[in-house]
Structure 1
């Protein structure tokens, strides 16, 4: 259950996004059926500032915007996220599918919509390759399988082993047992 402040902020996000969407559709002749478009705010999202989901059965696109991104970005940057998701909505409505291919890139460029957004939340974990010549790393916000069992996975660049760091504590591990040990040692600080 959300409190009144959360509800008010979600209402503000949706109102501003809908107004901006109407302006974009009108100014750029973007053929998005705004009446068939649904909107939502995520209070949990930590990585993606926005997402566009497609329900093929009902032919409904839903744009989901992250509250944390709205709080972190200035409006011009957040408006770019809205435009990015509108391009996905257009692709879903027109073609039944969407991605970040050439059709998307061309339309996004015309709308000055970013292809990717800047991070708005610090990661909880960082994966780093252990090979001396490799500088590969990846950020994670959740304890996914590669975080919990790094010995079962490989570096995304060179295929070498990697370690996982719990950012807040600086603890690292390279095995499932190491993950369990770090979690137990940190206890409530985890």
Structure 2
């Protein structure tokens, strides 16, 4: 940094993640080309603590880390997210694709990286099956089509009907008009 410039939280996150990545690659002999790895911090991410994007045209992976996750988690948990995304980068660099299958699970296990990362923000909506014998539920952070028109979709577990709950208010609906009514009733509290 030059005179007058200050380090930002994003700079701190990237610096710590790069140091950890170097340690992981060296200690576990993970074949990740760190020179073909870019780092970004998302100030907007609310669901995903991290993501790894593959740019096949440049053969570069970009690891995007969520600032909110860094602020919420302790370093040990956040370092697990960095290792998780490094496994994706390794898969992209070695195989041109990545997922959460057997190959990922095996490599993540060797690095003590979680296979999936916990959500770090409370969902805005929860979808719950109405069938008494089904315990399916799904969390949503945005008003997606299944949130706005639940009567047009089915439960992911049994195929039955479900309701949507606005978590902040506790209001529920099962139809598009119910969504509109809840939104209108809540006004600024939506």
TM-score normalized with structure 1 length? 0.95
Task: Indicate the residue corresponding to 2:181 in structure 1.
Answer: 181
1: CA distance, partners of 2:43 / 2:13 = 12
2: CA distance, partners of 1:37 / 1:117 = 21
Task: Indicate the residue corresponding to 2:97 in structure 1.
Answer: 97
Task: Indicate the residue corresponding to 1:114 in structure 2.
Answer: 114
Task: Indicate the residue corresponding to 1:64 in structure 2.
Answer: 64
1: CA distance, partners of 2:135 / 2:36 = 45
Task: Indicate the residue corresponding to 2:81 in structure 1.
Answer: 81
Q: Deviation above 3 Å: which 4+ runs of structure 1?
A: none
1: CA distance, partners of 2:146 / 2:152 = 7
Greater Cα offset, 74-83 or 131-140 = 131-140
Q: What displacement does 1:27 show?
A: 0.6
* Alignment root-mean-square deviation, CA: 1.3
Q: What displacement does 1:102 show?
A: 1.1
Question: What runs of 5+ residues in structure 2 fail to find an aligned partner?
Answer: none
Q: What displacement does 1:185 show?
A: 1.0
Alignment of 1:11-160 (within 5 A): 11-160=11-160
1: CA distance, partners of 2:57 / 2:30 = 23
Question: What runs of 5+ residues in structure 1 fail to find an aligned partner?
Answer: none
C-alpha offsets along residues 33-84 of structure 1, whole Å, 9 cap, x if unaligned?
Answer: 1011000011111111100000111111000001111111100000000000
What secondary structure, in the 3-state scheme, does the structure 2 residue paired with 1:11 have? helix
2: CA distance, partners of 1:116 / 1:97 = 17
The count of aligned residue pairs is 186
Q: What displacement does 1:173 show?
A: 0.6
Q: What displacement does 1:119 show?
A: 2.2
What secondary structure, in the 3-state scheme, does the structure 2 residue paired with 1:79 have? helix
2: CA distance, partners of 1:127 / 1:101 = 26
